[in-house]
Amino acid sequence: MTKEELIQGIASGDSRTLSKAITLAESTLAEKRDLALEVIAHFGPQDDTYRIGITGTPGAGKSTFIEAIGIKLLQDPTRKIAVLSIDPSSGKTHGSILGDKTRMNKLSAHERAYIRPTSSGSQLGGLAKNTRLAMLLCEAAGYNTILIESVGVGQGETEVAQLTDLFTLVLNPGGGDELQGIKRGIMEMADIIVINKADGDAERQANLTAKEYSMALHLMPTSTPFSIGSNSGWIPKVITASAITNKGIDVFWEKAFDFEKTVSQNSWKETHRKEQMHYWARKSVQDLLLSKLDHYEKAIVKGLEEGKLPEEIAKEIVE
């Protein structure tokens, strides 16, 4: 498709054109990716959108929770939802199941919802390499609420906070090892903590877990160098929910809109997104420099054969 065809299709909200544009943005071929960048530049930034990052431990029910909150929000006819779901890649085959869309049958069938599963590839931090470009294309296509589900495999999956306004952490009932990591890392980033699967026999345990996390959050400093939202004026909230019974779904959106109202009153959102742009500019520079590493493979092999330290080799190449 030509640039003009892509722009026309995205402007009209055509989901097939949007998918093709995202595929171009994810391409390893420079000319295809550059075409996607030209399309994004044509539309410019979309400020009137709400970006929500969702991560959590494996098996916490993130996809089911996303479908529940998505279906609830779409009761508002002014809302269009795009879900960008990042699946972990195999370290051996580099493949990915990409099964999140099949776990959101109701949401994926909705005319005002768009779901795009993507493999994380070799990226660390819980996102795919071009998740940000996919998000910008979705916003250009008129999706005003973006839900980004990160890989969610541990305390280091925090890069989604550099891409979103609201950062949500979904956990299973029962603290266990999760509570041990509360002093540093992902817990400090969360704006809303959801103890999911609060139904049946697990409901009592979920309520107890929520109390434990609430107490632990009160012990944290209100502002840390690790906390993206430390100056937002928002106090993190802990809620219980059950995506299966729809318990806590209304409460989640109540807290989410309270957050949006809070940060809109102090201009935090605008400042936050500028800081995020700076982060992604630096990361883009780093990615381009790393992509050139293959050109120096012979120098690396030669240096190692000569008994040089990797640090010495790197210094010689860069200088």
Could you tell me the CA-to-CA distances from 273 to 45, 270, 277, 279 in Å, in that order? 10, 5, 6, 10
Percent of the chain with pLDDT over 70: 82
| Per-residue pLDDT at 228 exceeds 90 | no
Predicted pLDDT at 252: 97
Looking at residue 318, its pLDDT comes to: 78
**pLDDT for 185:** 65
Residue 91 confidence (pLDDT):
45
Could you tell me the residue ranges of all domains in the chain? Answer: 1-44, 46-266, 267-319
pLDDT tens digits for 173-225? 876 445 554 445 677 788 999 999 999 999 999 999 898 888 877 776 554 43
pLDDT on residue 229: 44
| Domain 46-266: homologous superfamily in CATH | P-loop containing nucleotide triphosphate hydrolases (3.40.50.300)
Q: Which CATH class is domain 1-44?
A: mainly alpha
Per-residue model confidence as pLDDT tens digits over 76-122 = 999 999 999 987 654 444 444 454 556 688 999 999 999 998 876 54
Task: Specify the pLDDT at position 196.
Answer: 93
The residue among 82, 153, 100 whose CA lies nearest residue 124 is 153
Tens digits of residue pLDDT in 252-272: 999 999 999 999 888 888 889
Structure token pair of residue 173: 């009932």
What pLDDT was estimated at residue 96? 41
Its pTM surpasses 0.75: yes
Q: Are 98 and 119 in contact (CB under 8 A)?
A: yes
Whole-number pLDDT of residue 192: 94
**86: nearest Cα among 141, 124, 42, 60:** 124
- The amino acid that residue 34 corresponds to is D
